[in-house]
Structure 1
Amino acid sequence: MEADNKRLLEKMADLEDSSHRNNIRVRGVLETIVQEDLPSYLLWLFQAIQASLEPADLRLDRAHWVPKPQNLAQDVPRDIVTRLNYYSAKEAILTAQRKASEIPPTYVGIALYADISPTTMSRRGDFINVTKCLRNNKLPYRWGFPTKLLIWCNGSLTKIEDPAQGMEKLKTWGLFPDTRTAASQAATWKVTAD
């Protein structure tokens, strides 16, 4: 019964994530920008991050401020959620942001994220020690469904399905504590998605 409930919750989270597939969550934009100006502001931001996209590729279906969580400080701006018409444009923008070495000064402090369900976000949060170690070792990673980390190591795929398993794998691979150098990791590790 418990396993059935878990599968049902995973499927519901997946459905919600699918409905957010084209969304980008934008964090750090000052709330001095009024709702009417959000689309044009976001288009300028996305063009600055991924200049190779044509204006026709950057069609926004909607953009709005989200309600502020109760535990967020008053001086911290609310997030913006926007939906791009084209999934490929959304992916190009998020990929460019991850690879960007610098961002124009106008947009410093702004971060972009995929918009995922609270259930998925909470589940990914359980892996924070594993993902922090991967980032500290300059290793990119991808998420799979249901929530798991997908890592290619020395030519074979390793699926990390729970945080404890992840910490054990990191120790086995000599990454936790962070014992390998970034150069040797880059030569022997590859991370991919489903």
Structure 2
Amino acid sequence: MLLEMRRQMEDLDKHGRRCNIRVRGVPELEGEKDMERLLTRLFCSILQEDTLNTMELIRAQLLPRLENAAPRDLICCLGSYKLKDNIMRKACSRQTCEFQGAQVALINNLSSLTLEAKWALQPVTIVLQERRIPYRWGFPPCTFHGRKKCRH
């Protein structure tokens, strides 16, 4: 029962983060409105569009500073998963993502449990990469607990 509750909590956490993007490398600005405007410009440049409805960017938040990390990461929540997926696909198709003279990385905002599972599987993924066997991380990652089939 405890494992089932943990799985359900993890599933809720993943769905809550579904429309989030972690942005790394954007120079820090003062004020939340500037941050939202900056992210809107960044996403417009990635999508190669002139405008992005600012209502589609629900919120943006600076994360606490990591050791020796400058600038801090931003997490933003977009209004739809479709928009987030489109931004991530376009960003991944580029060799580099440069914005205002800085190298910017867009990362899925994964839960700590998902990151733990990813790190635990790192030896397996290293072997897959060495042998050039294609694999894919699904989002949210699929889990199987023996009794029930995965719902994803």
CA distance in 1, matches of 2:84, 2:15: 14
Aligned pairs for 1:106-185 within 5 A? 106=100, 108-134=102-128, 137=132, 139=134, 141-143=136-138, 144-146=141-143
Higher alpha-carbon Rg: 1
Q: Which runs of 5+ in 1 are unaligned?
A: 148-193
What amino acid sits opposite 1:102 in the alignment?
A: T
Once the two structures are superposed, residues 146-191 of structure 1 have per-residue CA deviations (whole angstroms, 9 ceiling, x without a partner) of: 28xxxxxxxxxxxxxxxxxxxxxxxxxxxxxxxxxxxxxxxxxxxx
TM-score scaled by structure 1?
0.61
Q: Shift of residue 62 of structure 1?
A: 0.5
The alpha-carbon distance between structure 1 residues 130 and 80, as it changes in their structure 2 partners (threshold 3 A), is same
The alpha-carbon distance between structure 1 residues 8 and 96, as it changes in their structure 2 partners (threshold 3 A), is same
Contact 1:28 1:78 in 2 (8 A): yes
1:142 aligns to what SS in structure 2? coil
Superposed CA RMSD: 2.7
CA distance in 2, matches of 1:133, 1:58: 44
Once the two structures are superposed, residues 98-138 of structure 1 have per-residue CA deviations (whole angstroms, 9 ceiling, x without a partner) of: 11123336354211111121111211221223334555648
Residue-pair matches, total: 141
1:25 aligns to what SS in structure 2? strand
1:26 aligns to what SS in structure 2? strand
Q: Which runs of 4+ in 1 moved over 3 A?
A: 129-140
Report what 1:82 is aligned to: 76
Contact 2:42 2:99 in 1 (8 A): no
What amino acid sits opposite 2:27 in the alignment?
A: L
CA distance in 2, matches of 1:139, 1:52: 32
Task: Return the match for 2:8 from 8, 11, 15.
Answer: 11
Identity %: 26
More relative contact order in 1 or in 2 (CA 8 Å, sep 6+)? 2
The alpha-carbon distance between structure 1 residues 138 and 93, as it changes in their structure 2 partners (threshold 3 A), is farther
What amino acid sits opposite 1:130 in the alignment?
A: V
Once the two structures are superposed, residues 36-77 of structure 1 have per-residue CA deviations (whole angstroms, 9 ceiling, x without a partner) of: 310111111111222158523872010010223xxx324433
Aligned pairs for 1:35-46 within 5 A? 35-46=32-43
Q: Which runs of 5+ in 2 are unaligned?
A: 145-151
